[in-house]
Amino acid sequence: MVSATLEVLALALVPAVLWGFAPVFDKRGMAAGGGSVQASLVVVLVDSPIYWLVIAVFYGRGAFAGLALEVLAVFVFAGVIGTALGRIVIFVGVDRVGASLNSAILSSRPLFATLIALVVLGEPLGPLTAAGIVILVAGLALLAVSKGGDLEGWRPRDLAWPIAAAATFAVANVARRYGMLESPISPLEAVALNETAGLVALVAYVVAFGRDDVLSMPRETYAYFAGSGLLTTVAMVSLMAALGLEDGRIAIVDPLVATAPLFTVVFAAVLLRDLERVTKGVVAGAGLIVVGAAMITI
C-alpha cells in the first residue's frame, strides 16, 4: 500500500512539474514571434498522434467500446471549446501578462468548474469548497496588484485572457465529466477525442479564414511549441496513469497537479529573467490560488 501511494505521488508530481515548465517554452515561443493559433496547432499536432498510439497499444480494437453518439458529441464539444479555443486564449495570456501570472490564474479553473457544475450538474457546494473559493479569489486579487509578469508591462484588463482561459477549460471539464459519467470510456480515450476534435477545429479555422501566416512564423517558434506539446503529452499520460492506480484518488492527484503554477514561478524566475519579473506578490498570489484550488477540488 505504501509503495502504491508513493507511485501515485510520483506520477501526480510529474504533470505538475512538466505543466509548470511548459509555459517557459510557450513564453519563449511567443517572444520569438510565434502566434496563438500557430502554437495551439503545433501542440495538438504533437500530442494527438501520441495519444492514439498509446490507445492502439493498450486498448487495440476494444478502444471506444460502448461509446454513444451523444457522448461523442459531448467530447467533441469539449475539445473544440477547451483544446482549440482554450489553448488559443492561453497563449495570448502568456504573451500579454507572462508565463508565471498566466499559469497561476489558469489554475483558478476549479472555481469556474465548481460554479458551472453547481448549476448544470447539481453538484453540492460545501463549506470547504466555499472557503477555497474565497482563498482563490484573494489570490487572484493579489496577482492583480503584484506588479509582476511581463517586463514590458500589462494592463489590468489583460488579466481577462488567462481568466477567460480558466473559464473555457472549466466549461470543457464539466462537459468531460458529464461524458465520463454517461460512458464507460477511459480518461485517455476521452483526451484523445478532445485533442483530435481540437485539431480538426483549428485546421478548419486556418483553412476557412486563410490563415497562411500560421505556417510562416520564425522557425525557432515551432521548436518551442513542439517542446511544449511534448511536455503536455507526457504530463497527461502520467496523470492518467496516476488516476488509474488503486490509490489514485482525485482528492490526492488533483491538488498535487494543481501545484504547477508554483513550479512555473520558479522556472520563470530562473529562465525568463529577460522577459518576466517574478515579485513576492506573484509568489504569494500563486500560492493562494494553489491552496484555494486544492480545497475546491477536495
CA-closest candidate to residue 35, choices 224, 194, 207: 224
The percent helix, strand, coil of the chain (3-state, each to 5) is 80, 0, 20
pLDDT score for 230:
96
Strand stretches in the chain, DSSP E: 149-150, 276-277
* For residue 4, pLDDT beyond 60: no
- Is residue 173 within 8 A of residue 82, CB to CB? The reply is yes
Could you read off the pLDDT of 221-269 as tens digits, one per residue? 999 999 999 999 998 888 877 766 666 565 677 777 778 888 999 999 9
Range 198-216 average pLDDT:
85
Residue 31's CB is within 10 A of a number of other CB atoms, namely 18
Please give the mean pLDDT across all residues of the chain. 85
Share of the chain above pLDDT 70, in %: 93
The C-alpha cell that represents 221 in the structure block? 517558434
pLDDT at residue 177 tops 90: no
Is the confidence at residue 121, as pLDDT, over 70?
no
pLDDT top residue among 271 and 130: 271
Instruction: Give how far the C-alpha of residue 200 lies from the chain's centroid of Cα atoms, to the nearest Å.
Output: 19
Confidence tier at 289 by pLDDT (50, 70, 90): confident
Per mean pLDDT, which range of 59-68, 178-187, 233-242, 266-275 is the poorest?
A: 178-187
If phi > 0 it is left, if psi is from -120 to 50 it is alpha, else beta; for residue 181 that is alpha
Give the span between the Cα atoms of 287 and 190, in whole angstroms: 30
Query: How many Å apart are CA 133 and CA 127, to the nearest integer?
Result: 10
pLDDT at res. 123: 67
**What value does the mean pLDDT take over residues 65-88?**
88
The pLDDT assigned to 246 comes to 66
CA 38 to chain centre: 17
**Helix 36-58 crosses helix 219-244 at what angle (to 10 degrees)?**
40
Calculate ∠ Cα 192-197-202, nearest 5°. Answer: 125
- Could you tell me if 72 and 25 are in contact, meaning their C-beta atoms sit under 8 angstroms apart? no
Mean pLDDT of 104-110: 82
Q: What is the pLDDT of residue 224?
A: 96
Grid cell 501520441 — which residue? 50
Q: What is the torsional sign of CA 243, 248, 250, 254?
A: negative
Backbone angles phi, psi at 134, to 5 degrees: -60, -45
Contact between 100 and 148 under an 8 Å Cβ cutoff? The reply is yes
What is the distance between the alpha carbons of residues 179 and 276, in angstroms, rounded to a whole number? Answer: 39
pLDDT classification of 1: cutoffs 50, 70, 90: very low
Cell triple for 1? 500500500
pLDDT grade for 209, boundaries at 50, 70 and 90: confident
Task: Look at residues 272, 185, 198, 184 and name the one whose alpha carbon lies nearest to residue 229.
Answer: 198
The pTM is what?
0.84
Residue 48 above 60 pLDDT?
yes
At 183 the three-state DSSP class reads coil
Whether 2 shows a pLDDT value over 60: the answer reads no
Residue 43 — very low, low, confident or very high, per pLDDT cuts 50/70/90?
A: very high
**Cβ atoms within 10 Å, residue 92:** 22
- What per-residue confidence (pLDDT) applies to 89? 93
Name residues whose C-beta falls within 8 Å of residue 15's C-beta, 6 or more positions apart in sequence: 235, 236, 238, 239, 257, 260
pLDDT at 250: 59
Nearest Cα to Cα of residue 260 among 11, 99, 20: 20
